[in-house]
A and B are shown apart, each in its own frame.
Chain A
Amino acid sequence: MPASLPGFEHIRKSWNATYSAYAARILPGEYYVTRSDEGIYTTLGSCISACVRDKACRVGGMNHFMLPATADTDKLGGLSAATRYGNFAMEHLINDILKNGGKRENLEVKLFGGGRILQNMTDVGMRNISFAREYLETEGIEVAAEDVGDVFPRMVVYFPATGRVRVKRLRSLHNNTIADEEIRYLRNVEGKPVGGEVELF
């Protein structure tokens, strides 16, 4: 099994027969960066995942997050708590890739998730998609590929070394189980204040 980079030892990995490779599984709120030839996978309802890698030096990773539904009045330095949280999720991933040898100009990004899996809810998936797109536009990073929105959950398997992604759309039988997991994660996030300090490279 490939060794995990420092800080990612807690992410569970298992052998995957379909891809003949090890794969790390990330949960809502987690991210994972690797320099090895291994996969990263996650299951997304209305959450979003950015798959980011340096095309030249084969370091990359994936995050999995959702903007908390906090009121926009909670501002800090002109940014709402939701935006600060989203920025956090994106910057942690990108900074760790840069820390491990990636270069900003070589970054390739793919976006997945943001499905509207619960009919009676406001479209939180779309809010997450819009945030991710705007964030990347501001950072000047182009989105190379995406499968976002619509009404189904997705399982995403990503190989940062090659950039290969497999997105499997999941049947509605899984909607509630995935939504429950995301709601639990959201409550956890909303219970914690988000500061403004992120180390920028």
Chain B
Amino acid sequence: MTIFREREIVHGMNAEISRLLEDVGGLVTLPQVFLRISQLVDDPQSSLSDIAKAASHDPAFTLRMLRVANSAFYGFPSAIDTVDRAVSVIGTTQMRNLALSMSVASSFAGLPNDLVTMDNFWRHSLYCALIARALAREVRGCDPSAVFTAGLLHDIGELVLFNRLPEKARASLLLVLDEADDLPVYRAEQRIIGFDHAEVGGELAKRWGLPELLVECIACHHDIGRADRHPRETALVHLANILAQMAELDLHAMDDVPPVDPAAWVLTGLDESIVEQVVYEARREIAETHELFFGS
């Protein structure tokens, strides 16, 4: 009986998240160039030049992508002047991640809100992405480009909540400010809304058919124990989300930011000695990377 009731509650919440996402369906869409590249990456018959052709189809994308490929973001030793060359040095699955990362700002422009400026929202996300990528480079078998994209997307559920449930979302933020105890935003959301931004973001990523790694990192970044397919990548995004706050707020002690789930260190094999370096580097890279991904 209890089990049945719990399931009913979970089902009820899922139904509510589904309803929210149905409403935003027409407002946030992924660009054709990403969808096309994504399809080709998943197709074992496709070749590198098919992917390059798909990328070239969108001249604005091509231009921006080559700018990123030639920037310090990749730091390739020689100039990359064709899309073919870019796909071959960046990699095909990595090209899909890059196409997604480069389009998040325009994809979510249709979902405005009064609670956070897009500038502040994406700055935090970008810090998280840069730090997740830097951490991933130290973890064997983790793809830094996938984790970068996961970091950039980790809070997209917040934009859905802020747009669709502005009053409850505001009440959640006010609850955080009202408690001198360190109440995390996602817990305030669970209390007031019944679910949190991670669940909403994960569900949106799933509906979009994004790779499972991204879905899991987004859905479980506050609850890494739930990640069963990509626990290490999820742990990296969890860590990066917290370290991003150190970078944003110019903090140097981990006591000043929300606590890290100790399992994240165990899963990644990393320890606190890496923190200072990755936070410092992210602060150094943020302006240029922001221009690359969010500039006009």
A pairs with B: yes
Q: Is B249 in contact with A16, judged by CB distance below 8 angstroms?
A: no
Q: Max chain B CB contacts within 10 Å: which of A18, A23, A175, A176?
A: A176
Tally chain B residues at the interface, Cβ within 8 Å.
Answer: 26
Q: Is A172 in contact with B170, judged by CB distance below 8 angstroms?
A: no
Complex-state Cα separation, A152 to B121, whole angstroms: 14
The A/B interface has a contact count, at CB < 8 Å, of 64
Q: Type the 1/0 row for B157-191, where 1 means its CB is closer than 8 Å to any CB of A.
A: 01000000000001001101110111001000000
Q: Is B248 in contact with A172, judged by CB distance below 8 angstroms?
A: yes
Q: Does B143 belong to the interface (CB within 8 Å)?
A: no
Q: Is A16 in contact with B248, judged by CB distance below 8 angstroms?
A: no
Please report whether the interface of chain A is mostly helix, strand, loop or mixed according to DSSP: mixed
Q: Is A155 in contact with B173, judged by CB distance below 8 angstroms?
A: no
Q: Does A43 belong to the interface (CB within 8 Å)?
A: yes
Q: Does B285 belong to the interface (CB within 8 Å)?
A: no
Closest chain-A Cβ to B286's Cβ sits at a distance in Å of 13
9 contacts between A and B (CB under 8 A): A17-B181, A19-B180, A43-B177, A152-B249, A171-B248, A172-B117, A172-B248, A174-B173, A175-B117
Q: Is B180 in contact with A16, judged by CB distance below 8 angstroms?
A: yes
Chain A residues with Cβ below 8 Å from B288 are: none
Residues of B whose CB lies within 8 Å of any CB of A are: 114-117, 119-121, 123-124, 158, 170, 173-174, 176-178, 180-182, 185, 245, 248-251, 256
Which residue in chain B gives the minimum CB-CB distance to A150?
B250
Q: Does A169 belong to the interface (CB within 8 Å)?
A: yes
**Given A150-B250, A152-B249: A172 in contact with B181 (beta carbons within 8 A):** no
Q: Is B182 in contact with A18, judged by CB distance below 8 angstroms?
A: yes
Q: Does A144 belong to the interface (CB within 8 Å)?
A: no
Chain A residues with Cβ below 8 Å from B182 are: 18, 168
Chain A residues with Cβ below 8 Å from B176 are: 174
Q: Does A98 belong to the interface (CB within 8 Å)?
A: no
Residues of A whose CB lies within 8 Å of any CB of B are: 16-19, 23, 25, 39, 41, 43, 119, 150, 152, 155, 157, 168-178
Which residue in chain B gives the minimum CB-CB distance to A21?
B180
Q: Is B115 in contact with A177, judged by CB distance below 8 angstroms?
A: yes
Which residue in chain A gives the minimum CB-CB distance to B245?
A171
**Given A150-B250, A168-B256: A173 in contact with B180 (beta carbons within 8 A):** no
Q: Is B120 in contact with A173, judged by CB distance below 8 angstroms?
A: yes
Closest chain-A Cβ to B63's Cβ sits at a distance in Å of 28
Residue from A39, A41, A172 within 8 A of B116 (CB atoms): A172
Complex-state Cα separation, A57 to B114, whole angstroms: 46
Complex-state Cα separation, A182 to B221, whole angstroms: 32
Q: Is A175 in contact with B180, judged by CB distance below 8 angstroms?
A: no
Closest chain-A Cβ to B274's Cβ sits at a distance in Å of 22
Complex-state Cα separation, A43 to B123, whole angstroms: 22
Closest chain-A Cβ to B219's Cβ sits at a distance in Å of 19
Chain A residues with Cβ below 8 Å from B251 are: 169
Which residue in chain A gives the minimum CB-CB distance to B170?
A177
**Given A168-B256, A172-B248: A177 in contact with B180 (beta carbons within 8 A):** no
Other 11 A-B pairs with CB < 8 A, given A17-B181, A173-B185: A16-B181, A23-B180, A39-B180, A150-B250, A169-B251, A170-B249, A171-B248, A172-B123, A173-B121, A174-B177, A177-B177
